Structure 1
Amino acid sequence: MPAQASSFAFFLFCYYAHAGTWSTYATLFFADKGMTVAQIGVLMSMIQVLRIVGPNVWGYVADHYDRRVLVLRAAGFAALAGFSGFFFGGSFAHFMLAMVILNLFTSGQAPICEALMLSEMKGDLTYYGRIRMWGSIGFIVSVTLASMALERRGIVTLPWIAAALLVATILAAFLLHDVPRRIHQQPPPPLLSLLRRREVIAFFASTALMVSAHTSLYTFYSLYLERNGYSKTLIGAMWSLGVLAEVTLFYFQSHLFRRWGARRLMFLALGIAVVRFVMIGFGSHMVWLLVLAQLMHAATFALHHSSAVMSLQRWFSGPLQARGQALYMSISYGVGGSLGGLFLAQWWQRAGPESVYYVAAAMVSLSALAAMLSFRWQRRDLY
């Protein structure tokens, strides 16, 4: 078990408590402020758009100066300053500026924390899932408690809840310390040379398409349920159910990966994702079907995320650790997430909410094709 396991767990708990609560209910907050569906789609896409820039900037700074924890702390204070913009003003432009500042600084925190974890683990990912699951637990606890507060006090209390969680994230960063950089006998390969390799391009295309499909959840799922008559309490419960399934998978995943390997489990996750999105689109008025689809989050997020992180170690490790994690966040969640969110927002308006999830299933099918090419092109089988 890594020496800082409890500190990593606490930071991830706080970080994903804030990220989960804000992303789950922000659509309802913006709708309450009079934003249209198209405007909400653009505002929520900033969570993904800023992941194109933020993780790479902070990943480079953290690796170059070897001061990852200092970057975490500074980003936390800057994010809190940006978030203060949600307490006043009500125009689209005002909210856009606040979203840009907030997500510019928060977008780099998770990959830097994960890079610290991976550095301290020194390639042994046995305990990765059991530490990472605390981020999911933070999500469950916060989203559930926030749903109760929002039912009682109204959506106007959301900024206060999210700001308090940002403060907790800053405090958690002060419990971490930097991991000494490992000395490598040979310099790492140039970053651009790695990014030109066809198997790397196919890998990132696959993860970007998978995240694009998941923006149908991250951006629109709460609004989708509300438009179909579900209460905020039930919306929070549905999110918590999905993340509870995710936590369970993270806890037991080491046994699965030892037996089946990252490649097989990634394809399993992609197959389940196609089924899941079709079920959500088809079952908008069938709670039991939506519940079953949420349980599949264990595979479509947790299993896929861990498979991707383990596959990423094939190319990005050691002195490229933080930038590798940053690239994964930027390309997959930044490029894939932002383009997916903007595209699906337009699709929602033209073809209706249910069809968004059928399009998401098609995106996952393309993701599986790209993953197949990536694994085929790799020079040797490490899976």
Structure 2
Amino acid sequence: MSMRDKFPLQSSERMQTATILALFFVGLFLIQGVFLPYWPVWLKAQGLSAGEIGILLSLPNWVRVFADPLIAQRADHTGNRKTPMMWLAGIYVLTVLAFPVSSNFWWLAGLSVVIGFTLSPLLPLGTTITVHECKTRDLDYGRVRLWGSLAFIFASYGAGWVLDGTSTTWIVWMLFIAGIVNFAITTRMPDPQTDRSLRSGSSLVYLLRKPVFLIYLGCIGFAQGSHGTYYSFASVHWETVGYSHEMIGTFWSIGVIAEIALFAVAGKFVRGRHPGILFALGAAAGIVRWIVLGSSDAFWMIVLVQPLHAMTFGITHLAAVSFIARAIPQQLATSAQSLMATLSMGVFLGSSIWASGPLYEHFGSHAYYAMAGLSGIALVFAFWLMQSWRGEDKTFCD
């Protein structure tokens, strides 16, 4: 019996739910589409060094190490995820407005901490709701998620076009406008009240005591960590070697277009594959991508390897979501999503971004070679996961 037969919902209700979930990713990735390519450019315009920029960019990732698990565990215990999302989205909007007040490093560092506390938890909270609704209403997660990637393209390319005709001061205002859109959409999110946590103790400690879950975290952690130099210094480097802001936006867009194509067609492929195989594909692509970007600034070389973003980020993201959907019961899902996001985008990516500051300062684009090394480690963990987890549904129900 299909999910659609088990849950006979009207197609209009399914379409409405799919639209709201897609818009959630649109709102969040409008922010990311401006922040990732151009926030380092704004910080550079404030007169900060590469090392200081690396620290400021890594701070939100480090803060989420504490913020995400605390908020996620609370959400799992209460079964309520929408209310904290609205509070966090609102505080983010107000915080962005404070950045132009001063270019003092410590002022910017304090605001970066707040950004990490408010913006970072939105993705695991919203993803948990999305996965729940996709399973309940027989929706394709990849096709819902791709709208966020489309928004990223629109934001990154559009922001580049705006900046070529204005100045870097517009970066903050574009982040503010995107934040308003994100807040408005968050208020319309579904609010599924799931069962409370299966366990009286810490769901986070319970998951971290599972060896298979730790191997899984190694797969996604090193894979995401390998993007550190790309996220923090790709735009700065391309600007330094003479590319326009519009062209920089185009480079970012090429990678995300490939990611969208993957999300559009990968649903059936992902369902039938072991997550370890998907992680291995992403890690192998990372080794190739980072070696090429570290060795060449040529236009056509950049264009040729940017589509590998579909593998280095896209396929690893689908692998991560697939593992949680198959191995983790719903009552622990937000905690699992949070730990995944916290360690991969917090500890691993935060460390990589921080290290990329001095690496880029001393070695320029050759810093990408270190990222290729991280992808190699991710490949080892992917093979380890294939050996350690046989695909059991709801592995952690014991």
Bin the TM-score by the shorter chain.
over 0.9
2:379 alignment counterpart: 368
2:263 alignment counterpart: 250
Matched, 1:110 2:117: no
The letter for the 1-side match of 2:342 is S
Aligned residues: 379
C-alpha separation in 2, matches of 1:234 and 1:358:
24
1:349 alignment counterpart: 361
1:292 alignment counterpart: 304
Q: Provide the secondary structure at the position in 1 that maps to 2:98.
A: helix
C-alpha separation in 2, matches of 1:287 and 1:197:
45
The letter for the 1-side match of 2:194 is R
Matched, 1:46 2:59: yes
Q: Flag structure 1 segments of 5+ consecutive residues without an equivalent.
A: none
Q: Which aligned pairs between 1:205-244 and structure 2 lie closer than 5 A?
A: 205-244=218-257
Q: Is the 8 A contact 2:22 2:145 kept in 1?
A: yes
Q: Given the alignment, which residue of 32, 41, 61 partners 1:19?
A: 32
C-alpha separation in 1, matches of 2:305 and 2:245:
19
The letter for the 2-side match of 1:72 is M
C-alpha separation in 2, matches of 1:13 and 1:126:
17
Q: Which aligned pairs between 1:1-383 and structure 2 lie closer than 5 A?
A: 4-122=17-135, 127-181=140-194, 190-284=203-297, 286-350=298-362, 352-378=363-389
Q: Is the 8 A contact 2:26 2:151 kept in 1?
A: yes
Q: CA deviation at 1:3?
A: 5.5
The letter for the 1-side match of 2:101 is F
C-alpha separation in 1, matches of 2:321 and 2:136:
11
User: What's the C-alpha RMSD, in Å, of the aligned pairs?
Assistant: 2.0
CA offsets per residue over residues 101-147 of structure 1, 9 Å max, x none?
A: 12210110111111001122337886010011111111111111111
The letter for the 1-side match of 2:69 is N
The letter for the 2-side match of 1:206 is C
Q: Is the 8 A contact 1:21 1:162 kept in 2?
A: yes
CA offsets per residue over residues 185-206 of structure 1, 9 Å max, x none?
A: x769954233122222122122
CA offsets per residue over residues 150-171 of structure 1, 9 Å max, x none?
A: 1111111111111010011000
Please, what TM-score do these two structures have when normalized by structure 2?
0.90
C-alpha separation in 1, matches of 2:123 and 2:51:
28
Q: Provide the secondary structure at the position in 2 that maps to 1:155.
A: coil
C-alpha separation in 1, matches of 2:282 and 2:303:
18
Q: Please identify, of 17-26 and 370-379, the stretch whose mean Cα deviation from structure 2 is larger.
A: 370-379
C-alpha separation in 1, matches of 2:17 and 2:196:
20
Q: Provide the secondary structure at the position in 2 that maps to 1:296.
A: helix
Q: Flag structure 2 segments of 5+ consecutive residues without an equivalent.
A: 1-13, 394-398
Runs of 4+ in 1 over 6 A off after TM superposition: none
2:7 alignment counterpart: none
Q: Is the 8 A contact 1:206 1:367 kept in 2?
A: yes
Q: Is the 8 A contact 1:83 1:99 kept in 2?
A: no
Q: CA deviation at 1:374?
A: 2.5
Q: CA deviation at 1:23?
A: 2.0
Q: Is the 8 A contact 2:220 2:279 kept in 1?
A: no
C-alpha separation in 1, matches of 2:380 and 2:105:
38
Q: Is the 8 A contact 1:262 1:310 kept in 2?
A: yes
